Amino acid sequence: MKKKIRKKRKFKKKTKKLKKKVKIRNRRKKLKKIKKIRKRRKLKTKTRIKLPNFTPKRIKIPRFIQERKKLQKITLRKVLSFILDPIFSAYEDFRERRKIEKLRRIAIEKKAKEEEIKEQRRLRYEAKKQQLKEEIKLAKEREVDLKRFLREEQAILRKEQAKKRKSFLEEIKLEKKIESFRKRELAEIKNLEKLALQEEREDYKQVEDRLEKIKEKYRLIREQKIRERVESLGVEITDSDTKEDLLQKEKEYAEHRHTIELVLESFYRSANSLVFQLNKKYIPKHKSILRVIDRRYESNECFIRYDDSPDEDWLILIYLEDSDAKKGKIVVENKANPEKHETKSFETKEIFNYSDYLVDSMTAHIDRERQKKNS
């Protein structure tokens, strides 16, 4: 331990000595630098400006004889050139000045023209900017108007649906009455049979056969008509199907189609009211009017297209997914934007979301058509 302490003390002493030496060296260096700077300053003050030695030259006085010789050499050409040279030089200067002035004027005109072109560009840009602002404002107003109109149409639609339900119930009542009349007809035929039996017991069998033939004939005619009617609807039938089976199938088909029609009713009405508003105010002049084609009962769909376009070139197609009213999913296929085809599905409750989507799609389509025409 003692040895370690001694070593440490020795090391500390050595480090102190080294530090002192370094400090002394630094001081000496600084002093040397200061001395050099002072010497330079003294040298600068001592230097004086030395003027060059000026020796005046001798003035040569011209001799008269030499001047006389020069005068003898003067000719008419030299005199004329001496007189006319200033005039020609003045004329040349005038022409040069005129040329410079002309170039300066051309440069000014060019600059003014460039500024005018810039100003016209700026004004065109400002006009387009203002037009864009007006278009944006118009689009917002149009969207608000259409949404308000659609909400009003929804209220009218509910009333009409209530009326349709009433008419449907009345139709059911009428069918029941027709069925009761048929039953009465059968009862009257039975009564006739009883009367014939009472009057002529012997000839009763012939009468009964004739009545049966008449019944069978009309039954077959009715069944054939019902069969044809059900087949035209696209319902699958078999030869073994009776009249009751056919009527039941027809009834089920009608009820199914009626439910599909009711599910799609609000969506169809929304599209119809939107197209009416677009045709009234916003459709471009170079395009034909828009139409909503209703095929809900026949093929479970309705679509929007231009009046002069075929059914295949629709813009928006609306249909019930899998023709299943229990799912309640409405599919919307959008071809209004040729660069991007979309397919969206909505619940039956999401009528307002559907209306907003329809408004956005159709207004964007009309704006694109208008821009195409302008370009």
* DSSP string across 185-219: HHHHHHHHHHHHHHH-STTHHHHHHHHHHHHHHHH
For residue 152, tell me if it sits in a domain.
no
* Whole-angstrom distance, CA of residue 149 vs CA of residue 151: 5
Residue range 163-184: average pLDDT? 72
For residue 300, tell me if it sits in a domain.
yes
In terms of domains, do 264 and 375 share one? Answer: yes
* Whole-angstrom distance, CA of residue 85 vs CA of residue 80: 8
Identify the band that residue 54 occupies on the pLDDT scale cut at 50, 70 and 90.
very low
Residue range 248-266: average pLDDT? 79
CA 48 to centroid of chain Cα atoms: 84
Residue 72 has a pLDDT of 56
For residue 264, tell me if it sits in a domain.
yes
Backbone phi and psi for residue 295, each to the nearest 5 degrees, phi listed first: -125, 35
Residue 332 has a pLDDT of 92
* Whole-angstrom distance, CA of residue 138 vs CA of residue 146: 12
CA distances from 126 to 117, 130, 374 (A): 14, 6, 17
* Whole-angstrom distance, CA of residue 182 vs CA of residue 218: 13
Q: Say if residue 348's pLDDT is above 80.
A: yes
For residue 251, tell me if it sits in a domain.
no
In terms of domains, do 306 and 225 share one? Answer: no
Q: Say if residue 60's pLDDT is above 80.
A: no
Residue 141 has a pLDDT of 74
In terms of domains, do 364 and 266 share one? Answer: yes
For residue 345, tell me if it sits in a domain.
yes
Q: Say if residue 204's pLDDT is above 60.
A: no
Identify the band that residue 51 occupies on the pLDDT scale cut at 50, 70 and 90.
very low
Q: Say if residue 178's pLDDT is above 80.
A: no
- Count other C-beta atoms under 10 Å from residue 249's C-beta: 17
* Counted domains in the chain: 3
* Whole-angstrom distance, CA of residue 261 vs CA of residue 74: 124
- Residues whose CB is less than 8 angstroms from the CB of residue 351 and which lie 6 or more positions away in sequence, other chains included: 154, 266, 267, 270
In terms of domains, do 269 and 375 share one? Answer: yes
* Whole-angstrom distance, CA of residue 81 vs CA of residue 83: 5
Question: Where in the chain does DSSP place strands (E)?
Answer: 290-295, 301-306, 316-320, 329-334, 342-347
Q: What is the pLDDT of residues 265-274, one digit of tens each?
A: 888 888 888 8
In terms of domains, do 125 and 181 share one? Answer: no
CA distances from 69 to 168, 307, 308 (A): 142, 113, 111
For residue 111, tell me if it sits in a domain.
yes
In terms of domains, do 178 and 264 share one? Answer: no
Residue 45 has a pLDDT of 60
Give the domain range for residue 174. Answer: 166-232
* Whole-angstrom distance, CA of residue 365 vs CA of residue 9: 94
Rounded (to 5) percent helix, strand, coil in the chain: 75, 10, 20
- Please tell me the pTM assigned to this model: 0.44
In terms of domains, do 264 and 354 share one? Answer: yes
For residue 365, tell me if it sits in a domain.
yes
In terms of domains, do 226 and 296 share one? Answer: no
For residue 339, tell me if it sits in a domain.
yes
Query: What's the whole-number average pLDDT of the chain?
Result: 75
In terms of domains, do 310 and 366 share one? Answer: yes
* Whole-angstrom distance, CA of residue 327 vs CA of residue 364: 31
In terms of domains, do 263 and 352 share one? Answer: yes
CA angle 208–209–215, rounded 5-degree value: 90
Q: What is the pLDDT of residues 301-328, one digit of tens each?
A: 899 988 888 888 898 999 888 877 788 8
Specify whether the CB–CB gap between 346 and 354 falls below 8 A.
yes
Q: Say if residue 50's pLDDT is above 50.
A: no
Q: Say if residue 340's pLDDT is above 70.
A: yes
In terms of domains, do 264 and 345 share one? Answer: yes
Which amino acid appears at position 292 of this protein? V
- Count other C-beta atoms under 10 Å from residue 260's C-beta: 19
Q: What is the pLDDT of residues 76-106, one digit of tens each?
A: 777 777 777 888 888 888 888 887 887 788 7
